[in-house]
Amino acid sequence: MIEQSLLKPSENCWRVERANEFAILIDADIYFDAVRSAMKAAKRSIYLVGWDFNARVTLGHPDLQDNAPKGVGDFLLWLMKRNAKLEIRLLLWNPGFLASWAKAANVPYLLRWKLNRQITVKLDGNHPLGSSHHQKILVIDDSLAFCGGIDVTTDRWDTRDHLDDDPKRKRPDGTPYGPWHDASSYCIGPAARALGDLCRQRWSLAGGKKLEPVEAHTDFPTVEGAIAFGKVDLAISRTSPAYGQRQRIVEIERLYVDMIMSAKKFVYAESQYFASRAVAQAIAKRLAEPGGPEFVLVNPVKSDNWLGAIAMDTARARLRESMRRHDPHERFRIYHPVTAKGEPIYVHSKLMIIDDEVMRVGSSNFNNRSMRFDNECDVVFEADGAEPTRSKLRDLRSSLLGEHLGVGADAVRDAVERQDSLIAAVECLRQPRNSSDGGSKRTLVAYETPEVGDLEAWLSDNEILDPEGPEEVFEPIESRGLFRGRLKMPFRRT
């Protein structure tokens, strides 16, 4: 049980506000459906803040039939026609010459939306060279807000079954893509209003006019498939690089370190990468303790782009081997989820559960960019020792591991209780299954450190593609290094 709150505004979070309802949404099948239903209930205002966007993506299940357009671009226009008082604002990252808006899928909608007074689009390039706006936030009427790792774009939709060769998992042009695991959240009440304030700040910094909050309401449909926690005090944590007159914000990095240092028994995390020095140093310190916690990290087998493969995958390999020297009790594991046929399931979620006490979800990854260089937003809450909430956190962890292992959540929970070890439970449940079980099932495979070439190792150590901040983009090469000690904050045990 936590004796004092981890959440400290102005240190590891921006604000702590009441959520009258908070829930986790696992995978985009559930998320897209929830977003679609919530947008239909909007009365005055919708803010969509994203890293990527594709106007042709179906917002919901591919087979949905609800008398509204399937594609999100036409769906937004349909919302406008239904409600003359509704204003929609899209704030999307503008990566310059790499802009996704150059796609044929988006250009026609930009032109149509420009003619509609109810919808405004801003492409935000207001950040240091090489940085990005990575937040994924949707706020409706300052009443309900979504925050997590899912963008409304291609290659995101999948169900929790992560089927092999699912014919419904297709891009707008009909080409298939592989299985994808992701996570987001939603909140109702003052916490949603706070996320609306964050969107308004971003809008203003991107050159938009100053906007005021709208009147809140509670007229939203029930979200099907959500893992609900009821009322919680929800903290909003950010990363923002120094730029112009703006000071650097490193709340997320501090939050990660504080959460890791508070852990007593189990740390479960899902992340697209494992390449952050701050996170690795905090984990290494806990692994060296005789009675420290276990760490289970779920990663994709490899990055989904060549830049990530060069920088992130190489950094992961070198960090993993370095960690072995700090893990005499063998309490650290990295696993990858695979389908029944052994196809890698891409892990894009950014989620962490500490014991049965604290959880966070958002847009930040375990890499240097997310800690100090990109704009990120996470939400976090504590159970405060309340057994009903602690039980729900155990259920969430069991549900996620059950999804990856191809077993029920009850089987995971029973195995953890029986083994009194998260790692031992995973090892027990991921054992190969014979034909009497009905054939192959989804499972987790253990990470194996690959051979790292000289060029990849040099790029990783010198952080060409994963800088901590704008100053490092221009920092002399001899000053850089993956393993140099640059953690500026003390470790805090709470």
DSSP for 306-349, written as a single string: HHHIIIIIHHHHHHHHHHHTT-TT--EEEEEEE-TT-PBPEE--
Q: How far apart are the first and last CA of the chain?
A: 10
pLDDT in 10s for each residue of the chain, 494 residues: 446 899 999 999 999 999 999 999 999 999 999 999 999 999 999 999 999 899 999 999 999 999 999 999 999 999 999 999 999 999 988 775 445 445 667 778 877 887 788 999 888 888 888 888 899 999 999 999 999 999 999 999 999 999 999 999 999 999 999 999 999 999 999 999 999 999 999 999 988 899 999 999 999 999 889 999 999 999 999 999 999 889 999 999 999 999 999 999 999 999 999 988 889 889 999 999 999 999 999 999 998 876 666 778 888 888 888 888 889 999 999 999 999 999 999 999 999 999 999 999 999 999 989 999 999 999 999 999 999 999 999 999 999 999 999 999 999 999 999 999 999 999 999 966 444 454 578 999 999 987 766 545 544 555 444 545 444 433 333 344 444 444 333 334 34
The Cα–Cα gap between 150 and 184 comes to 6
The Cα–Cα gap between 151 and 167 comes to 21
- Residue closest to 1 by CA, chosen among 256, 236, 263: 263
Residues 6 or more apart in contact with residue 8 via CB below 8 angstroms: none
Amino acid type, 116: N
Amino acid type, 143: S
- pLDDT at position 129 is 82
- pLDDT at position 464 is 40
Q: What domains sit in the chain, N to C, each tagged with a CATH number?
A: 19-230 (3.30.870.10), 233-479 (3.30.870.10)
- Look up tokens 């690959």; give the residue: 450
- Look up tokens 């690089």; give the residue: 241
Query: E strands within 225-331?
Result: 227-240, 249-250, 266-270, 274-275, 294-298
Q: Please tell me the number of Cα atoms within 13 Å of 268 on its side-chain side.
A: 23
The Cα–Cα gap between 460 and 86 comes to 47
- pLDDT at position 165 is 93
Backbone torsions φ then ψ of 260, nearest 5 degrees? -65, -40
Query: Is the pTM of the predicted complex or chain greater than 0.85?
Result: yes
